């Protein structure tokens, strides 16, 4: 199997594993809004007495972050298809890579900021606990986002050079 095909296959698998969360997450939030006071989430300190407005607010922001990531990943999937078809130096690939970069960078930067706001305003424990996996994930998203923004510029330059040659 070629490297491009393996890349596309792995992205497709990861994308389809993300879809159920996009479909089921809003239903969970709606359930918690209809039936407040449920102990659906028991591991969170702000949800010990049942689900209140803080929990719903946090879940909504987590869902928005997840949507940002999902849209970035969707664009990555489309970009992988272009890579597989060898259509790299096109306007469409430049636009896809810009979108990937923007969505992943926004997601990587806003996630720790939202976590900080949660700790400052909604948490009763007032401590920030960035686990190794959290901070590495946010940094990875920012790095990948910036990489795709740089890559889009390189593709744009290559496209312009190709037009000058022809």
pLDDT at 6 over 50: yes
Q: What angle do CA 2, 8, 140 make, to 5 degrees?
A: 115
pLDDT at 44 over 70: no
Question: pLDDT for 52-61, tens place per residue?
Answer: 677 677 778 8
From 71, 91, 70, 92, select the one nearest 81 (Cα to Cα): 92
Which letter does DSSP use for residue 38 in this model? -
Q: Residue 41: which region, alpha, beta or left (left: phi > 0; alpha: psi -120 to 50)?
A: beta
Q: Name the pTM for this structure.
A: 0.76
Identify how many contiguous H helices and E strands the chain contains and give both numbers.
Answer: 4, 0
Rounded Cα distance, 61 and 112, in Å? 12
Q: Residue 50: which region, alpha, beta or left (left: phi > 0; alpha: psi -120 to 50)?
A: left
Which letter does DSSP use for residue 36 in this model? T
pLDDT at 46 over 60: no
Q: What is the pLDDT of residue 130?
A: 47
Report domain extents, the chain: 3-165
Q: Average pLDDT in the 129-150 region? A: 77
Quickly count: other Cβ atoms within 10 Å of residue 53's Cβ: 10
Q: What angle do CA 82, 86, 89 make, to 5 degrees?
A: 80
Question: pLDDT for 10-26, tens place per residue?
Answer: 999 999 998 988 888 88
The tokens describing 112, both together, are 């720790």
Alpha-carbon distance values, 65 to 42, 69, 109, 110, 158 (Å): 22, 6, 10, 8, 33
Rounded Cα distance, 120 and 114, in Å? 10
Distance of CA 8 to the CA centre of its chain: 18
The tokens describing 55, both together, are 């929990």
């Amino acid at each position: 199997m070629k490297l491009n095909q393996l890349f596309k296959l792995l992205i497709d698998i990861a994308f389809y594993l993300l879809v159920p969360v996009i479909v089921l997450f809003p239903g969970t939030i709606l359930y918690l809004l209809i039936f407040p006071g449920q102990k659906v989430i028991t591991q969170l300190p702000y949800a010990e007495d049942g689900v209140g407005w803080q929990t719903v607010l946090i879940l909504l922001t987590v869902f928005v972050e997840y949507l940002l990531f999902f849209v970035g990943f969707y664009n990555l999937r489309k970009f992988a298809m272009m890579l597989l078809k060898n259509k790299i130096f096109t306007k469409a690939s430049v636009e896809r890579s810009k979108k990937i970069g923007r969505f992943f960078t926004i997601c990587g930067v806003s996630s720790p900021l939202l976590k900080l706001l949660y700790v400052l305003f909604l948490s009763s424990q007032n401590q920030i606990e960035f686990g190794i996996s959290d901070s590495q994930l946010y940094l990875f998203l920012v790095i990948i986002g910036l990489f795709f923004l740089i890559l889009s510029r390189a593709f744009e330059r290559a496209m312009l050079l190709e037009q000058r040659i022809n």
